[in-house]
């Protein structure tokens, strides 16, 4: 999937409903990012990094975020 509208410069986006962070460069159909876009419940992180997502209590998506990278 391409990067999300309005967040083209952000690789990592969080799902506010599940508190999961997704890597838009590695997303899979199992991530259901289309549903996330329809629900408009996503957030970006500044800086755009996994440590910042973790700092905000987001957990890595098991489908698109490598555990070693998180």
CA separation, residue 18 to residues 2, 21, 32, 55, 56 (Å): 21, 9, 12, 16, 13
User: Is residue 39 a part of any domain in this protein?
Assistant: yes
User: Does a structural domain hold residue 70?
Assistant: no
Which residues, in sequence order, are bridge partners of residue 12?
A: 23
pLDDT in tens, 14-61: 999 999 999 999 999 999 988 988 998 999 999 999 999 999 999 999
Q: Do residues 20 and 32 lie in contact, with contact meaning Cβ atoms separated by under 8 Å?
A: no
**pLDDT of the residue at 1:** 58
- Domain hosting residue 42, numbered range: 12-60
Please indicate, yes or no, if residue 38 is contained in any of the structural domains: yes
Asked if the structure places residue 2 within a domain, the reply is: no
User: Is 6 among the domain residues?
Assistant: no
């Amino acid at each position: 999937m391409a990067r999300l509208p309005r967040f083209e410069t952000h690789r990592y986006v969080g799902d506010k409903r599940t508190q999961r962070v997704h890597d838009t460069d590695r997303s899979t159909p199992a991530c259901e990012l289309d549903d996330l876009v329809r629900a408009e419940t996503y957030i970006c992180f500044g800086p755009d990094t996994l440590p910042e997502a973790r700092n905000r209590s987001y957990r890595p998506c098991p489908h698109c975020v490598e555990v070693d990278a998180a």
